[in-house]
Structure 1
Amino acid sequence: MSFARLATATTPTCHIGLGLAAVGRPGYITLGRDEDLGADRSADALRTRTHELLDAAYAQGVRYVDAARSYGRSEEFLADWLNARPDIDDVVVGSKWGYTYTAGWSADAETHEVKDHGLATYERQRAETDALLGGRLDLYQIHSVTPDSPALTDKELHARLADAAAQGLTIGFSTSGPAQADAIRAALAVTVGGEPLFRTVQSTYNVLEPSAGPALAEAHDAGLTVIVKEGMANGRLAAPHAPDALRAVAAETGLGCDAVALAWILCRPWAGVVLSGAATVPQLLSNLHAPAVDLEGDRLALLDRLAEDPRAYWERRGQLPWH
């Protein structure tokens, strides 16, 4: 399995991946994105930005890249980068299906993405992903599974996903919402022919929203690779917006709030890959200091106290503007 390459890597950044949600489309919900991207949100500008981030990430030892059908043109930008560098064969590529991008390259669209976990959407989006990434795709994930998702009970879909797995594709799922733990546990019970269907799980987990932690530990113990997304809480943990406790710990360590927030996740023994959602190269390089952060004792306890009620966290996230 491709993720075995990550499990045996020894570079300090082997457990950090690069997510392309913030740079594959002109609109997204990360705080401070207006300043990060500036006025030019053209496809060419974001393609260039994506390639700069990928170059910097690869040079620093990052070997997992995460895209999605709904991240605008992220798969296209990633495919262009890979095709221009045929000598690079050690990058693990993941993408997701289940949301369709509908914003028409506008940051002001009324609807940015539409969710559908049906078989027809899987077949359409799998073909679209294959047309761009082809044999470079290692991991295909169901995007944002919730406990009521039909993807958890659709036997025909499970059979198609199992067929893809038999052909060498790793099958995973991501989760969102206040009931992530329930979704994770339900997905762990999905089997085809007596064998577990999913080999990876990608969930939101950060100092403000740690509720999925016990279920992610169970997933790890069951043999799944755990990928953590939104470790920066869509910018709420970045320096301009960070809670006082996080700022205090960052000041003690001499590193950024972002590095401390990601280091808090890396302390979990079940965390296989923690995604950086950086929109600029300086942000990425700051994120990559996370493995060097010392969070022993009181520092860790101070950050543990920042957890919010999951329902309140997700309600606030749902109110973040696309910009």
Structure 2
Amino acid sequence: MPFARLAAATTPTCHIGLGLAAVGRPGYINLGRDRDLGENRSADSLRARTHELLDAAYAQGVRYFDVARSYGRSEEFLADWLHARPDVDDVVVGSKWGYTYTAGWSTDAEKHEVKDHGLATYERQRAETDTLLGDRLDLYQIHSVTPDSPALTDKELHARLAEAAAGGLTVGFSTSGPAQAEAVRAALAVTVGGEPLFRTVQSTYNALETSVAPALAEAHEAGLTVIVKEGMANGRLAAPHAPEALRAVAEESGLGCDAVALAWILRRPWTGVVLSGAATLDQLVSNLHAPAVDLDEEQLARLDALAEEPGAYWERRGQLPWH
């Protein structure tokens, strides 16, 4: 599978990837967005910002880039960057299908994305992704699987995904919501011809939301690559919003709250890739210090104590405004 290239990387940042959710569209739910992006959120402005982040990340050893059909024009921005750099042939590209972007490049749309895990949506979005990324696409994931998702039981969809896998594409899934662990375990049971269908799982995991950890450990044991998203809890773990305990550990380490929060995730033995969702170069540079953070057992315990009840975490996340 393509993620073997990440495991073989020699750079210290090989386990950090760059996700483009925050810069592929003008509106998102991350805190501090007005400060990060300012008022100019035209497509050209965000394209230039995305390319600047990709250049900096690649120069620092980042080799996994994560986009999705619903992240506005993120696939297009990444495709443009790749086309302009034909010598960049050692990156791993992952995208996701299952949500359709509907905001029309607005920050105050009534709906920013619409979810549909049906076969017709897969076929349409796979064609759209292929048009932009073509053979540069390594990983295609079902976006935000929940336990009631029809993608877990649709045999025809499974057959089409298995065909894609037979053609060399890695097939994975992501999860969201308070029942992530249940969704992960249900997806691990999906087989085609007696073989597991999914080879990667991408889940929300951070110091505030830890409920999926046992299921991710099971996925790792089953041979899946684990990708962690929303490690900063949509900005809740970044200064100035970080809890006091995180700020204290960051001060002790001499690095940022974000680096400490991501380092806490990197300490998990099942972690394959942790996504940075940086929207600025300063954020990216700070995120990339995570592998250098040395947390002792007492500091880890203080951070472990930050975990919230999953229902409360996801309720608060659902209340974050698009801005």
The TM tier, using the shorter chain, reads over 0.9
Shift, 1:296, TM fit: 1.3
| Shift of residue 229, structure 1, vs aligned partner | 0.1
Q: Which residue of 2 aligns with 1:282?
A: 282
Quote the Cα distance in structure 2 between the aligned partners of 1:178 and 1:254.
Answer: 33
Alignment of 1:57-206 (within 5 A): 57-206=57-206
- The 2-side partners of 1:320 and 1:240 are apart by 16
The residue number in structure 1 matching 2:13 is: 13
Counterpart CA distance in 1 for 2:11 and 2:45 is 31
Q: Encode CA deviations 1:230-270: one digit per residue, 9 max, x unaligned.
A: 00000000011000000000000000000000000000010
Q: Counterpart of 1:172 in 2: which secondary structure?
A: strand
Q: CA deviation at 1:140?
A: 0.1
2:212 maps to: 212
Name which of structure 1's ranges 7-16 and 148-157 shifts more when overlaid on structure 2.
7-16
Sequence identity percentage: 87
> Normalising by structure 2, what TM-score?
1.00
Measured against aligned partners, the alpha-carbon deviations of 1:33-65 in whole angstroms (never above 9, x if no partner) come to: 110000000000000000000000000000000
CA positional deviation for 1:10:
2.3
- For 1:264, the equivalent position in structure 2 comes to 264
- Residue 250 of structure 1 aligns with an amino acid whose one-letter code is A
Question: 1:192 is matched by which residue type in structure 2?
Answer: V
Q: What is the one-letter code of the residue matched to 1:302?
A: R
Output one character per residue of 1:61-112: Cα deviation in whole Å (capped at 9) or x when no partner: 0000000000000000000000000000000000000000000000010000
Letter in 1 for 2:286: S
Structure 2: distance between partners of 1:134 and 1:304: 42
3-state SS of 2:82 partner:
helix
Structure 1 residues not aligned, in runs of 5+ = none
How many Å separate the matches in 1 of 2:218 and 2:138?
A: 23
Deviations along 1:258-294, whole A, 9 cap, x unmatched?
A: 0000000000010000000000011000000000001
SS at match of 1:106: coil
Counterpart of 2:254 in structure 1 is 254
Match of 1:32 in 2: 32
Shift, 1:297, TM fit: 1.4
Amino acid at match of 1:6: L
- Is residue 2:70 matched to residue 1:56? no
- Asked whether 1:302 is paired with 2:305, we answer no
AA aligned to 1:304 is: D
In 2: Cα distance, 1:297 partner to 1:191 partner: 39
User: Deviations 1:177-236 (Å, cap 9, x if unpaired)?
Assistant: 000000000000000000000000000000000110000000000000000000000000
* CA deviation map 1:114-153 (0-9, x unaligned): 0000000000000000000000000000000000000000
* Aligned partner of residue 143 in structure 1, secondary structure: strand
**Mapping of residues 227-242 of structure 1, within 5 Å:** 227-242=227-242
Q: Gaps (5+ residues) in structure 2?
A: none
Q: Quick one: distance in 2 between partners of 1:217 and 1:89?
A: 31
Return the alpha-carbon distance in structure 1 between the equivalents of residues 239 and 254 of structure 2. Answer: 13
**SS, match of residue 34 in structure 1:** helix
Report the 3-state secondary structure (helix = DSSP H, G, I; strand = E; otherwise coil) of the residue aligned with 1:21: coil
* 1:243 alignment counterpart: 243
What is the rounded CA distance, in whole Å, between the counterparts of 1:73 and 1:121 in structure 2?
Answer: 18
Structure 1: distance between partners of 2:193 and 2:64: 30
